[in-house]
Amino acid sequence: MGERLNIISQSAVRWAAFLTVMGLAGCELPPLEAEDPPVEEMSSEDDAEGDGLVGVASVFVFDEDDDPEIARLPFVETELLARILPGAERDELEAAYGALGVTVSEELPEIQTTALLVDRDRLLAVAESLAGNPLFESVHKSYVYDPEQLPDDSSFGRQDHFAPIGVDEAWEVTTGSEDMIIAILDTGVEPDHPDLEERLLDGWNSHDKNGDSADVLGHGTAVAGSAAAVSDNNAGVAGVTWDNPILPVRVSDDDGRAASKDIAAGIIWAVDKGARVINVSFAPLGSDRTVLAAARFARNSGALVFISTGNAGRSFRSRETSDAVFVGALEESDTLASFSNTGPFVTLVAPGAGIYTTKPGGSYGRVSGTSFSSPIVAGVAALVWSVNPDFRPATIENLLMDTAADLGADGRDKEFGFGRIDAAAAVAEALETLEEEDTKSPSVDIIKPADRSRVSGIVNVSVGAFDSGELADVVLFVDGEPFATDTAEPFKFAISTRKLTNGTHTLTATATDLSGNASSSDRVRVTVSGGRSGGSSGGDSGGSQSTSNASGTAGVDTIPPGVEIEFPADGSRVLSSVGVQAIVSDDVELGSVEWLVDGVRVETVGLSGTSRTINFLWNAREASIGRHTITIRVLDGAGNESALAVSLLKE
């Protein structure tokens, strides 16, 4: 956070204890043939003044909300999704949760994410504290999404969407595979629909955490039929694939709306059950880092996730990503549907207007929306994969993109992505494709901390890794022993020095790609203070630090606490107010912390536990122009003391 700021003003300080909530508008699109139902615990424009926090207006923005279209979305007001850095100790996490008064509601260890229950009026305050804590990589809202369907359009004929994408020709080569599962993450699937029931596997409900995957809205039933309805049975409709099993995963509440956490949990569950193709017809998910982390987990596990771009007809800033395949919608004339969202994240397009498919009550009907473009592409992927089940996800994705019909500007563009899916061309190309063996190892380096650094408290380790293919993971080693594993960029870790002995330790990192090639970084040496066996506390944050030990004998705590100022950087310029954040730790028990401005004590706070993130707001409006020193003095329960200072320039 501190790297972004040079001149720090009151309006630019992100300190949660002084924030007020931003007003966010709810989704505008109706779910399946119904008006938007009221949703509990979601923000709206009416909430712009109402989070209960007092103080200056907030400029704190969740990373995803940098896109104003994402900032409009509703979210669960009593839940945060915290991404934990590999290596973070459970006792320190629990201490952080306890200090903030939050409780864990669900853990998703596959993507290093924990869902936290938070008081509604403290959501931003807690988010800001977590974002500044070195145990956490990032913190996110649990956004809420509508299923992406538009009202029926009776002007379209039945299943005429197959001809433009060459499905008939693809069927001459393959109709799918019984060994390749397609997971439908949606509002559920009608279990006794005549064109679906014989293909359905036992599913899951990630919202209610039970096996009830029946459809609560009808949307999921229509999506499932678009991808894989039973075909060649003289009844109903045909799916893109004829033979693939359907794994129904209900990720929505009873009103058909799905939260980030439940979508991510559904993806992880589907992967664990063997799904290779996973469809998610909710939007806009292009900036949802929790869902994309789950999609990356799926990809690393040998599966591909397909997601609808959404029906708002708006342009989003979401970036290109290899985590998932985002699919937009076409009209019958091969023009982009007016409702189809656009942006750099769009990968492919497919028919999405007047799709004739399965509907509730064993019936059939026409539906429109990117919700049905996405499962069509997912179905084509299943056809292509059936040609060679040993293909890697990247190979399947490349086949779909390389054979797509380019409809917009040359190459990838924000409206059509790589173009319209072409099932016939993709299947034909798969027959001619041989994957080259990947024998090239990744490159890997430890970026932070620097070699021969002195460290204390919580140390964040950053690793840079690159591979010509795709990375599987990065493992951090401490003194030659595996310490923690990270599976997604940016590769970062948290080391608690209180679990290490004082003195010199070595760090190395090993990166492995999806083909099993591995390489290791050069060694980085760090000197630990504040560890298990004594020694002086040390650090380098641009300020000055001093320590004093209480005298003692064997069995008496003589180790001073550790302290590290995380923000702001030494020498930062200040206009009015600035928040100072520090991490303090002790191997036994913290006692108290004092904040001094130019040597004068202005605040004292009692502490408990062994590791805390401490914030102090310095109101510099009345301070004189020139340089000032902010000092944090930390005492542990035995009276051992450490101090650290940062110099700030008031302008």
Cis bond upstream, residue 147 (ω within 30): no
The interaxial angle of helices 90-100 and 123-131, nearest 10 deg, is 150
* 8 A C-beta contact, residue 276 and residue 302: yes
Instruction: Specify whether 161 is catalytic.
Output: no
For 519: left if phi > 0, alpha if psi spans -120 to 50, otherwise beta; the answer is beta
Mark whether 371 is an active-site residue.
Answer: yes
449 preceded by cis ω (within 30°)? yes
What is the CB neighbour count within 10 angstroms for residue 480? 8
CA 371, CA 217: separation in Å to the nearest integer? 14
- Cα gap 322→63, rounded to integer Å: 19
How far, in Å, CA of 253 to CA of 215, rounded?
10
Instruction: Name the DSSP class of 14.
Output: -
CA pseudo-torsion sign 263, 266, 272, 275: negative
DSSP state letters, 344-407: TT--EEEE-SSEEEEETTTEEEEEBSHHHHHHHHHHHHHHHHHH-TT--HHHHHHHHHHTSB--
Angle in degrees, 0-180, between the axes of helices 370-387 and 423-431, rounded to the nearest 10: 20
606, amino acid identity: G
Q: Catalytic residue, from 47, 51, 186, 195: name it.
A: 186
Sheet holding 611-619, edge to edge: 562-567, 577-585, 611-619
DSSP state for residue 518 in the 8-state scheme:
E
451 is catalytic: no
- Alpha helices (H) along 473-573: none
Select which of 371, 576, 577, 611 is catalytic.
Answer: 371
> What 3 state SS string does 184-225 have?
EEECCCCCCCCCCHHHECCCEECCCCECCCCCCCCHHHHHHH
Instruction: Check 219, 422, 473, 611 and give the catalytic one.
Output: 219
Q: Which residues are catalytic?
A: 186, 219, 371
